[in-house]
Chain A
């Protein structure tokens, strides 16, 4: 085993160690250490990504001296490492980009604890993406939930506390449903590691033994993770949680925390239950319906939202709807589109949150949508970044979300029948609705309603992260074809 292959495990353990050290540091050093650990993780994961792409293989890493099915394991392949690398870029830019506001709004004596929350969310993401064991996944779901609750409530004003309580309640229901699912799955298969469960489930599906428990377990896991990642009917916690906290927290919640759960769901569908069995159980049809409802209702609510951040929060619901809609297609192509949209949405949504905070600051510290008129002349960079994100989510060609919509259409056409018709209609309606609220906001940036504007220069770190976000999104958009190809090979080795 080469040194590089150790890096996924090292980055998980390093994050734990650094989180513990951060908890006893002062504000400044805590922030520096957090940035450093994000950067080191990024470098390590980048190297693993290069390694997995070059060798084209995935490998299993024993956490201890005992192989499956006795000990814990993690697993790294192209699918995991590419996702992880992009998401680590997002974490880095979200943390640095929002630093100004977090530092200003959080008590100095508690800022190190906020850094701990950021590191713990990153830890949970790393573990959820790399784990090859269902129970490890549950343990890190707990960490993710706790850390995210800390992120939501960090500002400690009334609204964020209420949002935090809502977040906690909805997410704990989700976690417990997931745990129930894992317990039932263990009872009927006798394993916790993914590969042995996969074999046992395939056998159960063949003999039709324990059919109802299997149905229930897949339903519980899907609904549990759907609830935690803001699938439509369970999205009531989203607007409060995303819009009443610091920009870093909003970006982390929408792009990192919820994405970890979705990646885990995709992983469970492919590597634990297996696509043929999923197809047999018909759970994907439910996802399809909920996803479609989310796509439409999220956008409708976004149009009605009064503040910009509320609008972006509801747009997240719509985009999560896209992901579940793609999962609901029930084919490997559909899952591939879901993963692509997961990455594309993470990169875009965090960019929108950070640039929105900068725009609000430049427009006199307000959150109202109407106040952003002429924002381009007050803060050109942030307005340009926001517009890039907006046109990306609407689906402008040469950008990443366009690839989602195109490939989703293609996957639906390949499937044919009802799915094709519904997909094409939903895509069209949702794109129109997206256009409605995003273009409305973006165009208002360029309306000149005052004679002269004072230009608001962003803080140096914010500027750096905004430029980083532009680069990340342009790379994802312009190099979509090769990245998509790489991910496709990853998908073929994933099962």
Chain B
């Protein structure tokens, strides 16, 4: 490190261009030097044994698969089965392609989808929902029930994944599978922590940008293209990048399973309760009393801003939690 400091920035850049040095080289070496020091020999031995066991297990599975494949299935019937599969698929593809050629031309004058429905969305959308972005007005006001359903789909997806894949010490008692998974070398629990300097440097720069961009897209959902779903996905991608670079220890300082539960339940409850109010007033022909504000201002378009933020939170947490649970079995 001390040697590098002597050169000016320009000189270092020139040397890097000439491939004389790698600016990250020193840190990479330092990280690699550090990594083995953390592991004690007993653990190395244990890991070696586990790897061997796993290799044996894999071989056993391969043998069983081979035995299964060699079972007496007549060659002709297998061939026939494949033929029928291919034929059915081809028939489906052919049928669907043929149908597509029959459909009305997109955006042609006689296209049935150009009717009073999009007409009202486009002409009166701004006036009725207060959202400059018509798409947001459509999904969060005209058809808000569908979007509530979609948010619930994300919630259900996370719940199912957690039901299946979340593993804690208690799981071992109930499922032999969980116990096996927790000690398997190929799971992430085994290989962490990782020391990838390039990834860490990139993440350091990109993580704040991704989160800020995501927040911007969510908050401006009613004004410009974007909204809760896209913004939430960007924030979620930022979180995934962060955890890939710095590991779970680091991200757990601000994002744990508790955080997920609090954020998502608060967001979905806000969404559901505010929509209960708006469905109730709508169906009973009451004034909702929520001001639409000045179109184009950030605080406008009534509930849409709030709902966008809720959806953003749900999507971001969903993306991250799905990644974490698939990778590690816990959040």
Query: Which residues does B use to contact A, with CB under 8 Å?
Result: 95-96, 98-99, 102-104, 111-117, 120-121, 128, 141-146, 148-150, 152-153, 155-157, 159-160, 162-164, 166, 168, 170-171, 173-175, 177-178, 261-262, 264-265, 268-269, 272-273, 275-276, 278-285, 288
Contact = CB atoms under 8 A, between A and B. Distances in A.
Contact of A110 (B114, B141, B163): B163
Interface in A12-60: 13, 16-17, 19-21, 23-24
Nearest to B178: A156
B115 A213 contact: no
A213 B272 contact: no
Interface stretch (A114-122, A258-266, A433-441): A114-122
A117 B276 contact: no
Given A157-B175, A187-B103, A63 B279 contact: yes
Given A10-B276, A147-B160, A153-B164, A127 B149 contact: yes
Contacts of B141: 64-66
8 contacts: A6-B284, A13-B275, A16-B272, A63-B282, A66-B282, A110-B166, A133-B146, A189-B112
A123 B151 CA distance: 13
Contacts of A190: 111-115, 117
Nearest to B119: A70
A191 B282 CA distance: 21
Contacts of A114: 163
A21 B265 contact: yes
Contact of B164 (A19, A135, A156): A156
A451 interface: no
A107 B160 contact: no
A286 interface: no
Interface stretch (A81-89, A138-146, A337-345): A138-146
Contact of B113 (A66, A123, A186): A186
Interface in A128-163: 133, 135-136, 139-140, 142-143, 146-147, 149-150, 153-154, 156-158, 161
Contacts of B99: 184, 212-213, 216
A70 B282 contact: no
Contact of A64 (B114, B144, B268, B273): B144
Contact of A149 (B121, B143, B160, B170): B160
B175 A156 contact: yes
B272 A13 contact: yes
Contacts of A69: 116-117
A117 B159 contact: yes
Nearest to A67: B282
A210 B120 CA distance: 26
Interface string A81-125: 000000000000000000000000011111001101100100100
Interface residues of A: mostly helix, strand, loop or mixed? helix
B156 A146 contact: yes
A280 interface: no
Interface size class of A (residues with CB under 8 A): 35 or more
Interface in A59-78: 61-66, 69-72
Nearest to A59: B283
A120 B99 CA distance: 35
B160 A117 contact: yes
B98 A212 contact: yes
Contacts of A161: 177
Contacts of B280: 6, 9
Which 8 residue pairs of A and B lie closest in terms of their CB atoms, listed nearest first? A139-B149, A72-B145, A190-B112, A65-B282, A63-B145, A150-B160, A113-B163, A190-B113
A146 B267 CA distance: 21
Contacts of A150: 156, 159-160, 163-164
Interface in A178-194: 180, 184, 186-191
Given A1-B283, A1-B285, 16 more contacts: A6-B283, A19-B155, A64-B143, A70-B117, A72-B142, A136-B149, A139-B146, A143-B153, A154-B163, A184-B103, A187-B113, A210-B102, A212-B98, A213-B99, A213-B102, A213-B103
Given A13-B276, A24-B261, A154-B163, A139 B150 contact: yes
Nearest to A24: B261
B283 A61 contact: yes
A122 to B, nearest CB: 12
Nearest to B156: A146
Contacts of B143: 64, 71-72, 135
Given A13-B275, A13-B279, A62-B283, A143 B145 contact: no
Contacts of A332: none
Contacts of B150: 139
B261 A17 contact: no
B272 A136 contact: no
B104 A188 contact: yes
A200 interface: yes
Contacts of B144: 63-64, 72
B282 A147 contact: no
Most central of B170, B262, B283, B285 by chain A CB within 10 Å: B283
A286 B288 CA distance: 49
